[in-house]
Amino acid sequence: MKTVLVIGGGVTGLKASSELAEMGYNVTLVEKEDYLGGQVAKHKYYKLAPDLRLAGEVIDPVIKAVENNSNIKVYKHSHVAAVSGNAPEFKAKIKNSKGESEENFGAIVVATGFEHFDPTVKQEYGYGRFKDVVTNAEVEEMLNPGGPTNGELKRPSDGETPKKIAIFQCVGSRDRQVGNPYCCRVGCVVSTKQAIEIKEKYPDSEVYVYYMDMRMFGRGWEELYGKAMEEYEIIFTRGRGAEVTLKNQQLSLRAEETIMDRPIQHSVDMIILAAGMAAGEGTIEAANVLGIKQNDYGFLEPKDDFVSPNESSKPGIFIAGADKGPMDIENCIVEGAAVAAKVASSLKN
Amino acid sequence: MKTVLVIGGGVTGLKASSELAEMGYNVTLVEKEDYLGGQVAKHKYYKLAPDLRLAGEVIDPVIKAVENNSNIKVYKHSHVAAVSGNAPEFKAKIKNSKGESEENFGAIVVATGFEHFDPTVKQEYGYGRFKDVVTNAEVEEMLNPGGPTNGELKRPSDGETPKKIAIFQCVGSRDRQVGNPYCCRVGCVVSTKQAIEIKEKYPDSEVYVYYMDMRMFGRGWEELYGKAMEEYEIIFTRGRGAEVTLKNQQLSLRAEETIMDRPIQHSVDMIILAAGMAAGEGTIEAANVLGIKQNDYGFLEPKDDFVSPNESSKPGIFIAGADKGPMDIENCIVEGAAVAAKVASSLKN
């Protein structure tokens, strides 16, 4: 029985590993961080849209399915430094603080995920310059009772609870200037979810969402959007965030209302940026080590987008999840199972 | 080795069948129509977004992978009339014009897909009353050189090529009045693709898209949207289609511009309705026969939306694709592979 190398211990890689192990394959899972769970764990995601159920209810069983399966060997804080050979006889060098080992594999799954777009690139939004301009991911950590503010939304500048909060959608998404014309897929729903969480916890707060299009396309997302407007009185305004300034210690935003080309000026206490998804370092590293194709944005390119969505440009090397482009957690879990099927059939033939 | 029953010969069911067969399982595929390929085949889809590649390039290999695999037995024009037993010992009665047979299965995959929303329900749009109000699916057939108009866009009323064409998005989607609050996911991109195809073929035509939000979230969709506006000069107007009337033999539409609440009046030669996705009869029938859970809209409900997306409410019965809710072809193919993995691991344990 051949062993499968899975690179990346986020949701997709975890699911791929446990599915393969359940089908009887041996798996070696290599994760660069010293924890499993990818971005969900990194940013202490608290609740998930659209049901506002605890992220732990989803990620914990996915992690446990890996940890409790004796067919899976997990290397944390490790890298795949080099790969040689061809399908189905690969040799990979795995490096970590304890040293270097070389192992043989029948197939390789790349599930290196994404990284959040770095909003300092959009200088006009003031992230990094103004303390109270934060990201969705940072709010996620704040809202988590196990996070740095014990579950409270606090202004980083003075520790106060903000009263007027604006959310800017599409930060580093749908933006040709920064080279990311694509949609991040999850910004609209995550922002809507956070707006609801904020209004639930702080009913006196005012939450304003500035958006280009509300892309509430997923299961239950549209219903969540309706609830946000009707039950929580969150104000959605169509307009792209243009600039953030600080006037007499007060954050002020300018947005471009896109229908009438009317500028909007708005003073608020906190601005949350819905930072998009970008190809992560781990993905770029894996593409280089393995010699597989990337698209214009650095994401991994399937052999055929429709017919072979989980095969890379090289036989025996498979790809899945958000290293192929923006993807939500539900889809990543499906991709993890799908790539396991492809690996299984390739090793059978 | 246990045999797997797959219900539905659309993209998802085909992919699930071929993946299972490649992993070494025997599959019986039951399809209610006398052809394979589901909605793609039914409406003679011509080109697929975002690459405008021929649909045949995608669907043909998926069908061939089933037809050329001797582990798969295909029953066309057939129904699963009854199922008894429990996992992993099911007994299913399969009915067709030749009679009835009873077979044993280890697991069941439901991949019964969707049906297009019937736009006659939205009486105010005039579908069924005005001949030149057509659907995306009908335009797909027209644009196909193998279709009823040999690839030409023609007004059904007089066979003329329409010069001014309006497209209404969200017909039977995001619409609580008809009981479908959810987004159909593909209306925006299919309409944009068809608008481009029309402008390419008839550069003198004018194409207007009335939309609520442009949900171009998929791979390459946003780029297609940019191209539609910049290279093809398609006019996108934010407003929901409200009413269609016929004045002196001329179609006239009213739309509600949603920002200024300003009514739009517009005379055109043809109106294309982006009819949404609804749970099909096949899905409702399968849910009844198998006794598995449906959601409020008739779609099949997974055991757990995140953790077990391809398991139904009953052990040994799996679900995949657009019978769970609106889904595009790329995602259906991934779902087909994912459900195959789940079946394989369930039969292993």
Average pLDDT of chain B to the nearest whole number: 96
- Where residue A256 falls among pLDDT bands split at 50, 70, 90? confident
pLDDT tens digit sequence for A160-193: 999 999 999 999 999 999 999 999 999 999 999 9
Best probe of the A interface among B4, B217, B330, by most A CBs < 10 A, is: B217
Nearest to A239 by CA among A205, A221, A266, A204: A266
Mean pLDDT of B180-189: 98
Chain B residues touching residue A62 (CB < 8 angstroms):
307
Rounded to a whole number of angstroms, the distance from the CA of A287 to the nearest CA of chain B is 19
* Pairwise CB contact (< 8 Å): A215 & B219: no
pLDDT value at A260 more than 80:
no
pLDDT value at A257 more than 90:
no
**How far is residue A155's CA from residue A250's CA, in Å, rounded to a whole number?**
12
What residue ranges of chain A are covered by domains with CATH 3.50.50.60? Answer: 3-113+280-348, 117-276
As a whole-number percent, the residues of chain B with pLDDT over 70 amount to: 99
pLDDT value at A264 more than 70:
yes
Exposure string of B153-186, with b = 16+ CB inside 10 Å and e = fewer, is bbbebeeebbebbbbbbbbbbbbeebebbbbbbb
Rounded to a whole number of angstroms, the distance from the CA of A283 to the nearest CA of chain B is 18
Contact B301, B293 (CB under 8 A): yes
pLDDT value at B260 more than 70:
no
| B340 interfaces chain A, CB cutoff of 8 Å | yes
The CATH number of the domain covering residues in B117-276: 3.50.50.60
Mean pLDDT of A210-234: 97
Q: Predicted ipTM?
A: 0.95
Mean pLDDT of A75-79: 98
Between positions 244 and 263 of B, the ones with CB within 8 A of A are: 259-260
pLDDT value at B60 more than 90:
yes
Rounded to a whole number of angstroms, the distance from the CA of B265 to the nearest CA of chain A is 18
Contact A7, A286 (CB under 8 A): yes
Rounded to a whole number of angstroms, the distance from the CA of B121 to the nearest CA of chain A is 21
- Where residue A275 falls among pLDDT bands split at 50, 70, 90? very high
pLDDT tens digit sequence for A115-166: 999 999 999 999 999 999 999 999 999 999 999 999 999 999 999 999 999 9
Taking CA B298 as the corner, what is the angle to CA B295 and CA B301, rounded to the nearest 5 degrees?
A: 40
**How far is residue A296's CA from residue A307's CA, in Å, rounded to a whole number?**
20
* pLDDT attached to residue B262: 77
Exposure string of B242-256, with b = 16+ CB inside 10 Å and e = fewer, is ebbeeeeeebbbebb
Lowest mean pLDDT among A237-251, A320-334, B188-202, B267-281: A237-251
Question: Which residue among A181, A310, A333 sits closest to B223, beta carbon to beta carbon?
Answer: A181
pLDDT value at B160 more than 90:
yes
* pLDDT attached to residue A120: 97
pLDDT value at A294 more than 80:
yes
The structure's pTM equals 0.96
- How many CB pairs below 8 Å do chains A and B form together? 139
Rounded to a whole number of angstroms, the distance from the CA of B212 to the nearest CA of chain A is 8
Mean pLDDT of A252-259: 83
Taking CA A31 as the corner, what is the angle to CA A27 and CA A35, rounded to the nearest 5 degrees?
A: 115
Assign 3-class secondary structure to B143-171. Answer: HCCCCCCCCCCCCCCCCCCCCEEEEEEEE
- Where residue B1 falls among pLDDT bands split at 50, 70, 90? low
pLDDT value at B259 more than 70:
no
Between positions 298 and 337 of B, the ones with CB within 8 A of A are: 305-307, 309-310, 325, 329-331, 333-337
* Pairwise CB contact (< 8 Å): B183 & A23: no
pLDDT value at B208 more than 70:
yes
Chain A residues touching residue B24 (CB < 8 angstroms):
348
Of all residues in chain B, the one with the smallest CA distance to A301 is: B219
| A22 interfaces chain B, CB cutoff of 8 Å | yes
pLDDT value at B45 more than 90:
yes
* Pairwise CB contact (< 8 Å): A338 & B341: yes
Residue A129's SS3 state is coil
- Where residue A1 falls among pLDDT bands split at 50, 70, 90? low
Homologous superfamily in CATH for domain B3-113+280-348: FAD/NAD(P)-binding domain (3.50.50.60)
Rounded to a whole number of angstroms, the distance from the CA of B122 to the nearest CA of chain A is 20
* Pairwise CB contact (< 8 Å): A23 & B174: no
| A342 interfaces chain B, CB cutoff of 8 Å | yes
* pLDDT attached to residue A259: 64
- Where residue B194 falls among pLDDT bands split at 50, 70, 90? very high
pLDDT tens digit sequence for B133-154: 999 999 999 999 999 999 999 9
Of all residues in chain A, the one with the smallest CA distance to B226 is: A181
pLDDT tens digit sequence for B100-133: 999 999 999 999 999 999 999 999 999 999 999 9
- B137 contact partners, CB below 8 Å, separation of at least 6: B39, B43, B116, B275
* pLDDT attached to residue A122: 96
Average pLDDT of chain A to the nearest whole number: 96
Between positions 110 and 169 of A, the ones with CB within 8 A of B are: none
Rounded to a whole number of angstroms, the distance from the CA of A178 to the nearest CA of chain B is 14
* Pairwise CB contact (< 8 Å): A306 & B48: yes
pLDDT value at A248 more than 90:
no
**How far is residue A332's CA from residue A338's CA, in Å, rounded to a whole number?**
10
- Where residue B273 falls among pLDDT bands split at 50, 70, 90? very high
* Pairwise CB contact (< 8 Å): A310 & B344: no
Question: Which residue among B307, B338, B341 sits closest to A23, beta carbon to beta carbon?
Answer: B341
Mean pLDDT of A90-108: 97
Fill in the amino acid letter for A210.
Y
| A35 interfaces chain B, CB cutoff of 8 Å | no
| A67 interfaces chain B, CB cutoff of 8 Å | no
* Pairwise CB contact (< 8 Å): A338 & B338: yes
Q: Tell me B44's DSSP state.
A: T
pLDDT value at B329 more than 70:
yes
**How far is residue B246's CA from residue B233's CA, in Å, rounded to a whole number?**
27
| Tally of CB atoms within 10 A around A148 | 13
* Pairwise CB contact (< 8 Å): A333 & B309: yes
Chain A residues touching residue B219 (CB < 8 angstroms):
182, 305, 325
* Pairwise CB contact (< 8 Å): A48 & B306: yes
CA distances B304 to A51, A243, B310, Å, are 12, 42, 9
- Where residue A348 falls among pLDDT bands split at 50, 70, 90? confident
Question: Which residue among A23, A260, A341 sits closest to B338, beta carbon to beta carbon?
Answer: A341
Mean pLDDT of B318-331: 98
* pLDDT attached to residue A262: 77
